[in-house]
């Protein structure tokens, strides 16, 4: 059942998925899983079952979509949202509640994080409402349930859990006062009728989605997002999507690590300092997945890093680099990378981290150099391949990006075959 174009075309039509962005192996594995579940013996037999059942169509989509999310992913986005929300309320003289949209909302961590961040910023419940939307009914149902395991709370600073969750036998239940701020529903960004009768939103979160579409679909989805965002509103996107929005007429608002864009160039907003019930902590991110480039705030303080006592400690230092980077401590992570290169032979993973740190900081040329060094040492390094591909595509080198994506897909397929 490998490389069956029918299934690729189906997913492209239904959810806009560009097969090159995830690799053929991921889709082929999902088709095999669903075929086994339905006891289909051939690709043709499963194809007919797929066409005949809307439930199975959704099941295949669910098998391809693997939600990777956690609370307060990209912390500076939420800190920036709190400041902008206070300023926006002042602009509209508090004549109405702010409207915030999160899509895809996955299993609810993002819309609930938005609500918690605004409550932390001092907004009253009647001053804002959050709407979460996802193409997956299963994910939306899990979000409505509001019970989360430890994987949704990543990093060391998770004090918000004590204030907004209660521990249950099967996980942590989000507080009713947060749940009341969020409305959840199923929806598809490719649906032209999406939220057609709804007013525009002051803030829209749509992160790490555009990178999975080809360029025509990216433009189509962007027009939908622009139509959903108030003319004076702000769109929050993923780290790898900034260059794309720049080409489509959006401009960064100028707050580092917030990944926030508006329709027109504007200076960075002045911080708004108000008494808060509780300070907004700098949240931590988690281990970086293959394609989305998760990153958060840059700390100005460089913490001392003890050098490894011997060559055998290289793995420990690599782990420390990952921890610092995933906590958003970019300066400390970069210093740890340099320390590693001074003490140990060059490693592809170190150059990958340096590339990602440069990429997020906006140094595209420097990032390319580091990604290419990583690939020189490890030609099939999956993260370096995909991030360099995203960088090249954002600069208009579509052919170069597709070549790298094809390499990544071939590597992923070979790895899948070895494990099967």
CATH numbers and ranges of domains, the chain: 5-64 (no CATH), 75-262 (3.40.50.150), 311-419 (1.25.40.10)
Residues of the chain above pLDDT 90, percent: 31
* Residue bearing the bigger pLDDT, 68 or 79: 79
H/E element, 29: helix 24-37
- Record the pTM: 0.62
Mean pLDDT of the chain: 81
118 CB-side CA count, 13 A: 29
Of 344, 330, 348, the residue nearest 388 (C-alpha) = 348
Cβ neighbors of 296 (< 8 A, separation 6 or more) are 73, 74, 75, 76, 257, 282, 283, 284, 285, 327, 328
Query: Is pLDDT above 50 for 410?
Result: yes
pLDDT class of 414 with cuts at 50, 70, 90: low
Chain centroid, CA 196 distance in Å = 25
Which residues are within 8 A (CB) of 391 and not within 5 positions of it... i.e. 6 or more apart? 240, 243, 359, 364, 367, 368, 371
Whether 49 shows a pLDDT value over 80: the answer reads: yes
Residue 97 CB burial class (10 angstroms; 0-12, 13-18, ≥19): middle
| Whether the predicted pLDDT of 336 surpasses 70 | yes
CA gap 87, 229 in Å, rounded: 17
Looking at residue 415, its pLDDT comes to 60
How many Å apart are CA 240 and CA 247, to the nearest integer? 13
Q: Residue 299: is its pLDDT beyond 60?
A: no
Residue 390: per-residue pLDDT: 78
pLDDT for 362 equals 66
Q: Residue 361 pLDDT more than 80?
A: no
Q: What is the mean pLDDT of residues 90-97?
A: 95
Residues contacting 335, CB < 8 A, separation 6+: 302, 305
Q: Tell which residue, 150, 212, 153, has the closest CA to residue 14.
A: 212
- % of the chain beyond a pLDDT of 70: 82
The pLDDT score that the predictor gives to residue 310 is 47
């Amino acid at each position: 059942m490998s490389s069956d174009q029918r299934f690729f075309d189906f997913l492209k039509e239904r959810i806009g998925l560009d097969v090159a962005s995830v690799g053929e192996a991921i889709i082929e594995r999902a088709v095999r899983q669903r075929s086994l579940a339905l006891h289909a013996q051939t690709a043709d037999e499963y194809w007919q079952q797929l066409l005949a059942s809307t439930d199975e169509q959704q099941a295949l989509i669910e098998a391809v979509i693997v939600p990777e999310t956690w609370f307060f992913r990209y912390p500076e986005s939420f800190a920036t949202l709190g400041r902008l929300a206070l300023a926006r309320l002042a602009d509209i003289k508090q004549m109405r509640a702010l409207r915030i949209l999160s899509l895809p909302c996955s299993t609810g961590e993002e819309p609930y994080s938005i609500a918690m961040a605004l409550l932390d910023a001092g907004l009253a419940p009647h001053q804002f409402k959050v709407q979460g939307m996802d193409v997956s009914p299963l994910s939306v149902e899990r979000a409505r349930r509001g019970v989360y395991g430890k994987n949704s709370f990543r990093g060391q600073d998770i004090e918000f859990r004590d204030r907004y969750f209660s521990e249950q036998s099967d996980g942590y239940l989000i507080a009713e006062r947060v749940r009341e701020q969020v409305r959840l529903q199923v929806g598809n960004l490719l649906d032209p009728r999406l939220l057609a009768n709804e007013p525009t939103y002051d803030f829209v979160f749509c992160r790490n989605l555009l990178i999975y579409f080809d360029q025509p679909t990216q433009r189509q989805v962007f027009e939908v997002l622009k139509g959903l965002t108030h003319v004076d509103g702000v769109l929050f996107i993923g780290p790898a999507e900034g260059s794309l929005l720049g080409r489509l007429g959006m401009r960064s608002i100028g707050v580092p690590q917030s990944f926030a864009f508006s329709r027109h160039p504007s200076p960075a907003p002045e911080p708004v300092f108000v008494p808060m019930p509780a300070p907004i902590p700098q949240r931590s991110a988690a281990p970086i997945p293959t394609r989305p480039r998760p990153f958060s705030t840059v700390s100005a303080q460089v913490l001392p890093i003890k050098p490894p006592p011997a060559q055998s400690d290289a793995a420990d230092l690599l782990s420390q680099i990952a921890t610092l980077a995933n906590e958003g401590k970019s300066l400390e992570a970069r210093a740890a990378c340099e320390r590693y290169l001074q003490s140990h032979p060059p490693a592809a993973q170190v150059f990958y981290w340096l590339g990602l740190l440069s990429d997020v900081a906006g140094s595209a040329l420097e990032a390319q150099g580091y990604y290419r060094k990583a690939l020189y040492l490890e030609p099939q390094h999956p993260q370096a391949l995909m991030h360099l591909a995203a960088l090249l595509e954002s600069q208009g080198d579509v052919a170069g990006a597709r070549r790298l994506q094809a390499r990544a897909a071939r590597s992923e397929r070979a790895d899948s075959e070895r494990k099967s």
